[in-house]
Amino acid sequence: MNLLSLLGVAYLVRATLAGSISYSGPTVNTKNGTYGGRHVPTYDQDVFLGIRYAQVVTDFLQKVVRFSRAEPLNESWDGVLPATEYKEHCWGYGIDWTGPNADWSGYPMSEDCLYLNIVRPANLTNTSRLPVAVWIHGGGFAKGGGSDKRYNYSYAVRDAVNMDKPFIGVTINYRLSVWGWLMGKEAMEAGAVNLGYHDMRQSLRWINENIAAFGGDPVKVTIVGESCGAEALAAQILAYNGRDDGLFRAAIGESGFGGRIPRFHPGGFNSTVADQDLFDRLVLNTSCAGTVGTSATIPCLRNAPFDEINHAVNVSGIAQWAPVMDGDFIQDYPTNQFRDGRFVKVPILIGANTDEGGYFRGLRGNANVTIINSDDDFKNMVRPVFADNVEHATGKSVNELVDEIALIYPNIQNVGIPSLQAWPVVISETTPDLEYLGLQDRRGNAFGGDITNIAWRRKSNIYWSQHGIPSWSYRFDAVPDGIAVACVFNDIPGEGYRLKPLLSEANKALAKKVSGAWIRMIADLDPNGANEETTWPIYNTSAGGNVGQNMVFNVNGSFIEYDDFRAEALLWFDNHFLDVFGT
């Protein structure tokens, strides 16, 4: 049977299944066909789950589409196609942590995974024209998915209705790890790089074409993301040299917005040698080993058994697959594009946690140096962030650059992270659990947070101010530090968390404040509200000597600060984004 025949069978099966089902729930007519959702009376909402937004894998088409760009949905059906259950996450991380076909959080996975989910207030029509928020999940481009319970938009959509600022929430899947982020010249030549970004782009096109049928306004879309999801927002803003396809009108980035987040390969977009080595190691661990270095590699991998590639990912490096500069989706370094104004000029709300570094011990330098007790430990941790060719780019040796870092990140606990105000303990030889911390832990945390998230956050706000585009900046300063996402979704029940993150009344109040600001940004393009105690200023570099101001979210009361902490250190990153970090 040829490919066209197979496609015909797929269409007939879908059409027959859809047409044979009698449906009583909410329905929506799109250009491809009618979807049947599910009404949730608890929140007076309609949900449409597991909607395919692109032509992707089915069992018998797997060899045709793996490592290929997502294509627009080209099927149609009669009757009602149920959209009442979440679909599988995309394959990520290459490890079955909790059982067959399940990722680290226990969600089933599949190569057939390009689906999205929609949560809306009930009884909308195709003329309701509500704003839309599209969530792009984090997870290092290696894990996660749109059906993760932590990203349930029901609470925020309910709150938005109560605020008289209703919106529609959308969550998406995109391909992960090797399946979405191949690197190497063979993948580049085959157009098989940055597939995860192309997946996101295709989901935004689907939303642009279809969301009006669900009651949304295609010209009022805000893209929202956390960690690598925030990095992805910046990539969509920079895509195709800043081409504006009219797919979104604003962005909200949490802990990751800006250039490429430094990962295990030093040099950022210049790490082509390391990228090629990783790709070759992948291929050498499959039956395609004989094709290494040839144009036959990608066709061979497309036909290789899934389990074989999955095993190869495990032995070649699971978290190192990342975006590359391909001359197409990513045409230039973010530094150059932002400086020159080659990006989609939309308002942004971006920020980071006070202590990002505690979560990125491996990414902040040498993954083998996790305990920092001395200056040598600190320098050994920092040294691997520099590529071998950095001397040619900067005129300085690696040791000279390491010494500069050591100077601007001094071993002074009062300026490290967490601050002595947040954790009033001076780390010493008698500190409990010192074997897990290290005497210079605060020093390492400050560096780790700046290199991964905070330096680019500040520079992005500065670029927006220089180009006259509204932006807002925040610093999330709550304990425990990892509750920011729960606050954004106002997930008071703690759905999807092993331990409920918002137990205290103070944390619940903070979640309401944060979620409310996000809702207003989605609805009004401004996070401020008439009844808010503190006005959140637009980031303006004339406000504080070349920097603007941050909203500081704190359980003891949120406030405004000048964005001038670690000024010398963050200026050093600003001066070296391009020549040292290749971004």
pLDDT at 232: 98
Q: How confident is the model at residue 437 (pLDDT cuts 50, 70, 90)?
A: confident
CA–CA distance, 44 with 76 (Å, rounded to integer): 29
Residue 131 has pLDDT above 60, yes or no: yes
The one-letter amino acid code at 353 reads N
Q: What integer is the mean pLDDT of 489-495? A: 96
pLDDT at 105: 65
Q: What integer is the mean pLDDT of 492-519? A: 94
Q: How confident is the model at residue 95 (pLDDT cuts 50, 70, 90)?
A: very low
Q: What integer is the mean pLDDT of 89-114? A: 70
Is residue 225 within 8 Å of 256, Cβ to Cβ?
yes
Is residue 247 within 8 Å of 158, Cβ to Cβ?
no
Over residues 259-280, the pLDDT tens digits come to 998 776 788 999 999 999 999 9
Q: What integer is the mean pLDDT of 137-161? A: 96
Residue 11 has pLDDT above 50, yes or no: no
**Strand (E) or helix (H) holding 203:** helix 195-210
CA–CA distance, 529 with 30 (Å, rounded to integer): 35
CA distances from 401 to 151, 294, 515, 531 (A): 40, 38, 41, 49
* SS3 track for 430-446: CCCCHHHHCCCHHHHHH
3-state secondary structure (DSSP) of residue 172: strand
Residue ranges with strand state E in 210-249: 216-226
Candidates 105, 147, 154, 227; catalytic one: 227
Q: Which of 370, 350, 388, 381 is nearest to 267 (CA)?
A: 388
CA 249 vs. chain centroid, Å, equals 18
Residue 9 has pLDDT above 90, yes or no: no
Laid out side by side, the sheet with 34-36 consists of: 27-29, 34-36, 80-82
Q: Where are the domains of the chain?
A: 3-345, 355-476+528-576
Which residue is it, tokens 């599949």? 110
Q: What integer is the mean pLDDT of 321-331? A: 97
pLDDT at 546: 87
Residue 100 has pLDDT above 50, yes or no: no
Over residues 458-467, the pLDDT tens digits come to 999 999 999 9
CA–CA distance, 481 with 209 (Å, rounded to integer): 38
Q: What integer is the mean pLDDT of 144-168? A: 98
What torsion do the CA atoms of 260, 264, 268, 271 make, to the nearest 10 degrees? -150
Share of the chain above pLDDT 70, in %: 89
**Strand (E) or helix (H) holding 120:** strand 115-121
Over residues 188-214, the pLDDT tens digits come to 999 999 999 999 999 999 999 999 999
Going by DSSP bridges, is the β-strand pair 45-52/38-40 parallel, antiparallel, or unpaired?
antiparallel
Angular region, 491: left φ>0, alpha ψ -120 to 50, beta rest: beta
| Domain 3-345 belongs in CATH node 3.40.50.1820 | yes
Over residues 357-402, the pLDDT tens digits come to 876 655 545 555 678 999 999 999 999 888 878 999 999 999 999 9
**Up-side HSE of residue 42: CA atoms within 13 Å toward CB?**
3
Share of the chain above pLDDT 90, in %: 77
| Choice between 54 and 267, residue whose per-residue pLDDT is larger | 54
Q: Which of 37, 226, 12 is nearest to 123 (CA)?
A: 37
Catalytic residue flag (residue 227): yes
Q: What integer is the mean pLDDT of 464-484? A: 90
